[in-house]
Amino acid sequence: MTLAELIAQARTALDTAIATRTQEQDALVALRSDENLTEDAVRAQVSARDAADAEVTRRQQALDELLAEEAREAEIAALQARNTPAAHRAPAYDQVARVGAEERTYRPDQDRRGAAFERDVAAAFLGDYEARDRLSRHMAEERVERGDQLQRAAGTGAFAGLVVPQYLTDLYAPAAAAKRPFADAIRRHDLPAQGMTVNLSRITTSSSVDNQSAENAAVAEQDMDDTLLTFSVQTAAGQQTLSRQAVERGAGVEAIVLDDLFRRYATNLDSKLLNQAATGLSAVATAVAYTDATPTVAELYPKVLEGLSGVEAALLDLASGDNLAVMHSRRWYWMQNAMGTTWPLISQPGIAAQLSGTNLGTTYGSGVRGTLPNGTPVIVDNNIATNLGAGTNEDEIYLVDRNECHLWEDPSAPMYIRAEQAKAANLGILMVVYGYYAYTHSRLPHARKIGGTGLITPTFTGV
């Protein structure tokens, strides 16, 4: 395994450790907002968070060591390139020893067009050490025979056709993606190994209990009944056909394309959870209307509490209290722009009364971004549509119980197919990324969504 591959592996391990640490911190924040929390539970969660912290530190140190080693290797290579005799004037004919049988590295009689030299320049750029050695020998030969000419002050602009461009492939700019903030925040399960549908039983007619009308009189009885909830296993997939030349002659092309396919896969899955017709969160959530020609954060917040009240009323004793507010980034920043002189009459756990919530200072897609004044964690997700309503300029805010939004995913998803035979006649390589998943927000219908003219494109006026 090369040093570059080890660094890539270390980066992946660090990303995983950071994601685990974020999950533990989110769990700690949620736990502290629980009215029934115990000191032992908090202590255990803090211990889990600290362990995840230690793992992040360990992974970071391992990555730093590899990066330091890479930097040192680059320094050594640069030192080796500089550590050659300085150019000097060629000595007089009778002051130098000559070997009659010694031949030049690149000979005009063998390579009149200089193709071998050009190939070595390209190969050296791609890391071919033997090509670099041949070029170094060539430069030493040039210093001996034409040192006086090499000392002339001609810049790279004089040799535009000979100066090889350097492409910073490690700093390529990928296409931005919304990815999967909501999908990573909800309750996840392993998808069963077989079948294309998932069935759940829901008790829709409960039993009955009432006071007995008289001694020995019949007691209340109600036959229980269930309804089968069936939802489909869906297949998300994308493909890209690359020329063999792009893969074999390019620098990191295959890895860049694969990374982009993975990003599109994550974005598609999350978008379907939110926006898919009939089953997406927007389709199944009960609407809470916020109609206002001049919306303000102070007027919106009571609608948030109305929605959370509806979530709890729907779930009753099955409510976990682990609620989420899911909104677009434009709405999150709009809520932060408000200034005011009043605050809630009832303080909330961990939230100062004078504040309108807290911003945890995390980046997009890294989990909980902050909390609302009543302690509800906020997930920012830019897969939320912003073209809703009659004016096609509204977004929505979703209020859910995290534990009643279910996502089943194949543990190996997304999977990768690299097929060469299918496009062999065209010298093409087919790359396919795919995965299976299923989801439901309707096991216990409860979700609420705030929508209406009060959620048009925000203006940042401080109210």
Contacts of 145 (CB under 8 A, 6+ apart): 90
d(CA 123, CA 135): 10
Separation CA 433–CA 412 (nearest Å): 12
On the CB side of 290, how many CA atoms lie within 13 Å of its CA?
26
What domains appear along the chain, each with residue ranges and CATH number? Answer: 179-210+220-463 (3.30.2400.10)
pLDDT given at position 114: 62
Amino acid at 366: S
Give pLDDT, residue 146. Answer: 63
Q: Is the pTM of this model over 0.75?
A: no
What's residue 100's pLDDT?
53
**Can you tell me the distance from the alpha carbon of 181 to that of 369, in angstroms, rounded to the nearest whole number?**
10
Neighbours of 97 (CB within 10 A): 4
pLDDT at 68: 86
pLDDT per residue as tens, the chain (463 positions): 788 878 888 888 888 889 888 888 888 887 777 767 777 788 888 888 899 889 889 989 888 888 888 888 888 877 777 665 544 445 555 555 555 556 778 776 666 556 676 677 666 666 677 878 887 887 777 777 766 555 555 555 655 555 556 666 677 888 999 999 999 999 999 999 999 999 999 999 999 999 999 999 999 999 999 999 999 999 999 999 999 999 888 888 888 999 999 999 999 999 999 999 999 999 999 999 999 999 999 999 999 999 999 999 999 999 999 999 999 999 999 998 888 777 665 556 666 666 667 888 889 998 999 999 888 999 999 999 999 999 999 999 999 999 999 999 998 889 999 888 878 888 999 999 999 999 999 999 999 999 999 999 999 998 8
CB 457, CB 331: distance < 8 Å: no
